[in-house]
Structure 1
Amino acid sequence: MKRVKLLLAGALFSVGLMGLSTGCFNRTAQGNIYVKQEKTKSSDHKDATKADSSKKSHKSSIAVSSSSQTSQSSSSESSTSVSSHISSQASATSTVVVTPPPTISVQSGTNHIASANSYAYSAATVHTEMTGTPTTINHKVVFLTFDDGVNTSMTPRVLSVLQKYGVHATFFIVGNTINPTTAPVLRQEYDSGHGIAIHSFTHQYHFNAPGNSGAALQEYQQTLAAMKNVLGANFDSKVWRYPGGHMSWRGLADSDAKLNAQGITWMDWNAAVGDALGSSGPKTAQAMLQYHAASITAFPQSNVEVVLIHDAVGKELSLAILPQIIQYYQQRQYQFGILS
């Protein structure tokens, strides 16, 4: 019954908010269920890939400098961090001032540093809690999740806001955005105590196609390999998000089973700011905040809120309202967690 309620909530969210009939998500009726269908490849993701790709094509395994690899084996690592100042009107090419980070204590087999243990939550437990089923999470926790990075223009500015407010988030990385240029930003996400999760390698929408059930696991493995080249062989992440979200598609049971067999949890969201909707999405900060408030009511009540935001190139409005989103949850006594 709770699964039926969750599906119904997803359907209500699909058709009830802000007239979402066009844009990045096209919503078409299939029987009595409304399914959110993304374009073959979103323009935001293509912009991010174009902005951050090297002249050579991306490969599933990238090379990083020997000095970076040496630092990964040390229990104390040093890299650059973004400044704590940000202008919501700044262009995507704004210069970011960097300062040295504190000493980092790494740990093996996780998607975050050791100091993040106190606010890291099992993705599987959060997944269950989102359905309204009681779990061991008996207090209010919000998980800010950023999709479609990593890049050198928007991602550092998001990191700066998070640093300013002293909160942490989970970054769902698209594997083919990882290259020698973006590697320091990925490193900074990790070193700053954020969670690192996987959002496929290609960001295409074919995982539910007949005979293609192994593609999700393959793209998970490609992305994890690219992450290990930057963050070290002991890095691991068992958190996955389908492009477009699991709620957007039918026919994912076989794909889910292959991921589950490897201990990988797929994660959707139960709150959003509407920045994935293209031309049909919110056009002002106030409209985006209203969209966020409305989105929360479309899903079963629970102790957790998993908020969908994007750090792709061009998401200036999302960046501008990020402080208000953080304050929204702070004022309601939510703790900020990461997915692990």
Structure 2
Amino acid sequence: MSIEVRNLVKSFGSFTALDGVDLKVADGELLALLGPSGSGKTTLLRIIAGLDWPDAGEVLIDGEDALARGARERHVGFVFQHYALFRHMTVFENVAFGLRVQPRALRKSEAAIRVRVRELLNLVQLDWLSDRYPSQLSGGQRQRIALARALAIAPKLLLLDEPFGALDAKVRKELRQWLRSLHHEISVTSIFVTHDQEEALEVANRVVVMDKGGIEQVGTPGEVYDSPATAFVHGFIGESIELPVVVRDGQIRLGDRSLGSAVDGTPAGESRLFVRRHDLQIGPAGSGVLEGKVARVRSFGPVHRAEVALSGGETIEVDTSREGELRPGEVVGLNPRRFRIFARN
């Protein structure tokens, strides 16, 4: 199933949740809507699902007007952040629910329903829990059951709203890998909402980065990480450091020091330099365009993360694999190895 959204607008009172959004989702794609709270990603998902309606714009499913259909007619499976499982029903009955409430003309026989539920419980690797109730399951197990229930009606489109947001970090990581493998197996067009950049980059085929009701960039995980289109994308993804620079006479200047020649297209005047913290090279005092004093060092395996108080007063964090731990109080020089420059708004 393919999805196309054209010039979608949605407001709640004076708040504009979506401001002229255009988006295409290919058949069989696993797409992430990534952004901070209030960026419009859940509103967009709910409109595609038929749970909300836009003030203006179009939603096309396989080239046909989806706004003329209700949620049930769109063949959508929806997975909520907090599972929405029926507490009084067993796991088996929760998964079977969607099949049993289908119109009589579409409803399977009881025997066929039981076969389908068993297939789905095997698919999510929880067939051994079929007689238990939701209160007897872990958070990760509940989310897998919620997904099995959404898949029971054989949806053409699977929508997930912060599916792992209520889970602890270890379980989230396990379920990310599981969801990607599952999607490869079932190959249903899927869109999931998240504010977790690592989750989006690890799971999705493509990532839609949203902010303030608009789309900042659409691309593969590698594209949005390595070639951010806007200052917002660079600052939101990858824990960037932002520094004020001036581009003048073809040179990029940080304070009274030059970072080198500006490339074509670099905005002149006051600008912002964005650099990932692992792209700041640490050297001895006097060796960099920046200088600061190491305030604190934390170790994560082979990587050291240093808090460096710059001479201008700002404190930044820098990742380094430099042999030998940096010492608090040590003065170091810093050089950006790879960076992007965006005009100051």
Q: Which has the higher helix share?
A: 1
Higher RCO by CA contacts (8 Å cutoff, separation 6 or greater): 1
- Structure number with larger C-alpha Rg: 2
Q: Which has the higher strand share?
A: 2
* TM-score class, shorter: under 0.3
TM-score (norm 1): 0.25
TM-score (norm 2): 0.24
